Structure 1
């Protein structure tokens, strides 16, 4: 299937299984076919070219964001992940495997779709696993559940998350409570934790045009609110993201003057395997998944028109 559409009341969602099992769009369709988009909608070119960077949101599995130089080790096995950024030459691979492979549709109806991805062990990721997503829609919200099952014979490191792109129009405000931010180097890799101005401003709500961020946050309270002013794209409106405790880390990517930003619920911070010996697990997250064990997490996107 090129696109699976979900319908519930005035809410709509479209999923592109072939494009990394990604969400292609999530919107409210009111009278006269007026659409209010809650995520940046994919265009037909991105779908046709199978470009996940042009989608509304894509899955992060078996790790989130970057691993420095694609090199890490875990309990005697070496990770040798090649560069994989489709739009650059960075040596640091990002976002895992799932976003760049087609997913199978296991079942689908008007309100939900179940997707799966089978991955064999390789030098890039020397553990075999099964990734699954359930994307479901009711008249109030969109829920995304993502999971990974270790199908190998030894424990496997794992991280999960999603990478939603939200519309960024003038006056867009983001509110989310965290306790600290990872300061990143020129390669967008974490180097130290800081509290202070950015954390305080996010907690009280900040107009995103005043920031330029690509950072991980810890101590997240599992919720984020986006507020958009009335404009040509719709009336005054808001969206609440609620995540379960497993998604205890938060990434904000908000490049200055861009027409989009990302607010990502994740289970681990960037490059966690390499930073763990120095900082410990608490500020980094990540999981150790036993053979046959399944790690799962979900989040909800709850939109509201004023």
Structure 2
């Protein structure tokens, strides 16, 4: 049997909950409950596109010109979004990951980011994927294994599934006081705007039929457990409920209008991010990890 483009497949399950995690990128390729997709899958014989389910490390989203300064040193990384002169979504979504622990209902994926041109730091990253009757829980831990402080940001890029239809037929709910305006040719931040009373206000739920989104939301309203929630309600009243803990200051929502036609609006990109776009350059929300220091963040999703 030929090897899948996404490498070895690691399956986890609990009751009717099933997820598949991949070697290439260490992301989640599919998650379903029974015969209902909770996260939009991509095919076994396809490469991951649109950062589908992938971790975004050591920075999420865009970095203008691929350049930044850290502790007085200038750095240049490769422009992976050359049409916009940006670097995007870090380094780890095309690297091979190892399953260092694998049980029926959980898998712990790991990789080491060695010093690179533009990012001369040593970082160990582990992501635990666990399924239960409560849903899928994803916990990312990064540790600075180098001898100097390193800059760090994290995100992930799952797509919430509307079921068999398109997201046009769904209602979106997200409680966020602000959104980050990236409506320009390079999709870089130009300011933080209030959501209240604007088309970006999803507090009470709003249909996605006439919405085109690719924007980060911030000042997230959280529950007593410090979780922010996104709810996607399908036409059959089934709900996909996504949460992110307070390590994630930002949730980007992406309706997929720039994906290939067969993927367009098939899922809602729901990207928890520990920092906003361009954070390596601006420092906004960026973590500074001392040698030996670790940082952890968690998100999850369930079908209701």
Question: What is the TM-score when the length of structure 1 is the normalising length?
Answer: 0.86
C-alpha offsets along residues 10-62 of structure 1, whole Å, 9 cap, x if unaligned? 11101112x20011100012xxxxx100111111232xxxx332675111111
Partner residue of 2:173?
175
Output aligned runs, 1:66-215, within 5 Å.
Answer: 66-85=62-81, 89-168=83-162, 169=166, 170-184=168-182, 185-196=184-195, 197-200=198-201, 202-215=202-215
Partner residue of 1:261?
268
Partner residue of 2:4?
none
Of Structure 1 and Structure 2, which has the larger fraction of its residues in helix? 1
CA contact (8 A) 2:15 2:133 kept: yes
CA contact (8 A) 1:27 1:36 kept: yes
List gaps (5 residues or longer) in structure 2: 1-6, 222-227, 258-263
Three-state SS of the structure 2 residue aligned to 1:142 is: strand
Q: 2:54 aligns with which of 58, 76, 87?
A: 58
Partner residue of 1:281?
none
Distance between the aligned counterparts of 1:95 and 1:263, measured in 2? 14
Report deviation, 1:76.
Answer: 2.1
User: RMSD value over aligned CA atoms?
Assistant: 1.7
Distance between the aligned counterparts of 2:114 and 2:280, measured in 1? 21
Output aligned runs, 1:22-41, within 5 Å.
Answer: 22-29=27-34, 35-41=35-41
Three-state SS of the structure 2 residue aligned to 1:99 is: helix
Distance between the aligned counterparts of 1:56 and 1:15, measured in 2? 12
Partner residue of 1:7?
13
Distance between the aligned counterparts of 1:124 and 1:181, measured in 2? 30
Distance between the aligned counterparts of 1:89 and 1:176, measured in 2? 31
Question: What is the TM-score when the length of structure 2 is the normalising length?
Answer: 0.87
Residues 1:247 and 2:253 are matched in the alignment: no
Partner residue of 2:293?
293
Residues 1:226 and 2:232 are matched in the alignment: yes
Q: How many residues align?
A: 279
Runs of 4+ in 1 over 4 A off after TM superposition: none
C-alpha offsets along residues 160-188 of structure 1, whole Å, 9 cap, x if unaligned? 12101123523212111111111112111
CA contact (8 A) 1:52 1:100 kept: no
Distance 1:250 1:54, change over 3 A: closer
CA contact (8 A) 1:251 1:264 kept: yes
Distance between the aligned counterparts of 1:99 and 1:252, measured in 2? 19
